[in-house]
Structure 1
Amino acid sequence: MAIYRLEKKSISRGNNHNLVAAVAYRAGAKFTDTNKLNPKATTHDYTKKTDVAHSEIILPDELAEQLNLAGINLNLEQVANLVEQGETTKRGKMKTAAKLASEYVLAGSHELSQAENIQAFQEFAKQQAEEQGVVAMVFVHDPKQGEDMSADTQAADNSKGGDLRNIHAHVVVLSRQLVLSGDQLQLGDKSNSELSDTARKKKFLEKNRDWLKGVREQWADIQNQSLERHNLAPVTHKSYRELGLEIKPGIHLGKDATALVRKNENLAAENKKLASEGRLDEMQPIKTIYRHQHNRTIDNENRTHIEQTANSGITSSQQQIERSQRWIDAISTGDAYIQRQIEQANQQERSINSRIGQGVRRRSERPNPYEQQLKTSADNRKQRATELHERTIIFDRASERADRNARYRKPRINGVIGEVDRLTMKTALLFSSRRNESSSYTDRQKDILERFANENSLVTGDFREDIRVTTTFFSDADNAQTHKHIVKLINDPETEEQNYSKTSKFEAESDLNELTRDIVGDSPKTSNAANESVSIAPRGRRRP
């Protein structure tokens, strides 16, 4: 049976984490930290980790379009070093407590294939990248793929496990957006997920806690879509409390404590004397064993609670059976009396049936004008009830199909929205690059675009700001529709120039034809004097 897991963690320098080390461990690779401000920068080699089934970078569509136009390709080591080198103070010093990224640990479904699990992980990472506008990295670990290895503190991972069904993913999402300045990538603003509740309120965003619930539900929906294709039971992101289950939580031990418990569960019993002397702080393993025993106690209590809940239903059924048995006994005790009552009732029934039969025979002898009408009315009501039931079934099936189609088409709709945003961003980039010598615009077209930029306040003096202002302007559907001729000029200047040349040629020929008609129809008359000319009034003012 599939399980649900989404655990959100932080990768931060305050916890002695290093993003280069974290990415290298999750990718099973050898990366070098090139941050000159970090005195501990070194090479992190995790090539012995062989359980990595998949790793990739997922970009938001807007950034992907910018990098494609700039001819920039990113790799995992480059992204990690970019963050490590960019997290500095205004004075150029290294931030010692900077949060570098957030990590989502997702449990896959062992009932599905590795490819299906990877596709689900990719869909979740793409949603986070688009929603927050940041770079996401996906690392899929499958115990069937190879062996895991221990991670140091800087690698920031303690999810090692020995279960071959434990296929899982680490989705690392950067805390800051990446901004393209010229041909260089730099760290930009923090994503909305890293803002405080106060800052989110100013942006009319929901609280972080409510937002995280939505993220958990997103992963449950993605996982259930994969499970539904194989008719497998769905998972839920809801807690025991939300499901109405009174189950107590245990204490998380961690991998080291779990290994210690498995190695020697009798350690607490062997050190009772030290525990009675109050020296538990010196015997940290004893605390670990006690936590494990506490968890076992809670598990037993939860099991008892579930059994009692099930037994309560059985007890209720037994009580009903006992009550029924008492009624049976009472009936058996008064069997003679009941039998007499039955014989009397049968006799009365035979008498009544005889009278009814006589009445029926008398009614059958004379026809009833309302009998056929009543029968027709009853048949019509029965037919309408049958039709209503059939329509209800059809409506329910249509509703289910519509709901499934909506779930399956949601990614396509998001893709269309992303394509519109990509075209808008492309238009903004081409428009902001109109002054470049490498642009394909003619001088006439450049003059048109420059006048348009000045008229609509799209000139700020900064290239990056020009892109932002222009993107905002063309994102407005009314602006895009009103100035669609400008949009066509920006994206296809060659076609616009050809159309302009054809139009200019046509207007020139029209003017020539009009001039020729005026000369032929209104030739000027001259006087007898050689140097004198007589002007003729326009055609509309001539006298007949």
Structure 2
Amino acid sequence: MNPKARSYDYTKKTDVVHSEILLPKNLSEQLDESDIELDFQRIADLVEIGETTKRGKMKSSARLAREWVLCGVPELTRAENIELFEQFAQQQSEEQGVLSMVFVHDPTAGDDMATTKAAAEGKSMAAPDPRNIHAHILLLTRKLDVSSDSLLSLGEKSDSELSNDERTRPVVPKKLVGTIDPETGKKIQQGRGLCSNSEWLKNTRKQWADILNERLEQKGIQPVTHKSYKDLGLTFKPTKHLGKNASIAERMGVQTEIGKYNESVNRYNHNQLEQTANSGITSSQQQIARSQRWIDAISTGDAYIQRQIEQETQQEKHVNSRIGQGVRRRAERQRPNPYEQQLKTSADNRKQRATELRERTIIFDRASERADRNARYRKPRINGVIGEVDRLTMKTALLFSSRRNESSSYTDRQKDILEQFANENSLVTGDFREDIRVTTTFFSDADNAQTHKHIVKLINDPEREEQNHSKTSKFEAESDLNKSTRDYVDNESKTSNTADLSVSIAPRRYRRP
């Protein structure tokens, strides 16, 4: 079939803990009706046949499948991670209308092949990271067709495999396809009317992040984001993927070029984090106060309208009371025809109340529209400010949790203060990620941030805190010196007075004549 095809033996790979074939709903129904069962070998043979020419050669431009590598969450169980992997794969199968395959790797299961091989050769190698549970999701690039005689074959390409031009080209009526476009002078081709490839990729990343965050929120774990550093407004640099060979070399203690590059990027990102935190966190309290004022202003909008209504109601009662008093006075002064006067007064009152009611309605409508406009105008700003405050709070937690690192700029005295503060407030859990989560929750409380604002200042600007501490220590030392000097002078003065007194009261000696 394909003489240049190569075979790989993965039977000794024991860290594959789960494998599954997932089908879109319509394809699954067709296979059930045709009584067709699929396995991995049959799928591989079918794909290879479909991408092989009549001469028995594999197409040079053939793409057999599209692979997604998903990173699991070590805080979740293996079963929970597998469930999330399959949820993403099933979602992609339904959207693209293609078959998908899920392969889950867990380094805590079985024996690592590289470690076993190194041990057999008498070499030492570090164990793989036990947190590296991940999945390889393979989606076929073509849809499967089931013929009337129950035969399977590869059909048209899925939407993900179309060119950017084919995806974004608008959908036109069939009668226009092939005609000449009068504006461009080219033949009109049918399109799909879809988003661009880059937007589709971002949306797919967001789908996986949404699936993860829904479960992480239930577990009380910090959410993840699909956005890049640039989209988040961060100046961080991404690291490079080590790959199989470089990863094995690093585990054997051999530093690779990619490893060196990643270390430099990590140092750069750490410095950027400290600079951003030092420049932005110092004004976080002011930003929180401003955002709170915005929130209070919006929340009190309805209260303002309610007060307006109450004031207008009270004014209406007061006017009705005054009108009633005036009617009674006029009735007492003029009694020619009380029924006619009463009827006239009642009609006038109704007209006046109707006019006042219309005016109050207009005032209320204007106030409501103004409050709605203000709320719509201020909501994006408030959300932006709140998001900025959350980001700054997260950076404060990262700096606080990294206080023990040798690269931190804290002095020994400051580290002792922060360590004592962490112990007093139960911010030490023994796990770095858990420390970040607990610290973020602690500083997200406005009361805690206000009560311990001196700690917040120390975390974000240790150099200034050290300068203030030095100035305070110097001032206290000078104060103690001045006090000692005054005490010494006072004692000298007292001694001198005593000496004079002793001289003045000493008995005189008689001189010889």
- The bucket for the TM-score relative to the shorter chain is 0.3 to 0.5
In the superposition, the TM-score normalised over structure 1's length comes to 0.44
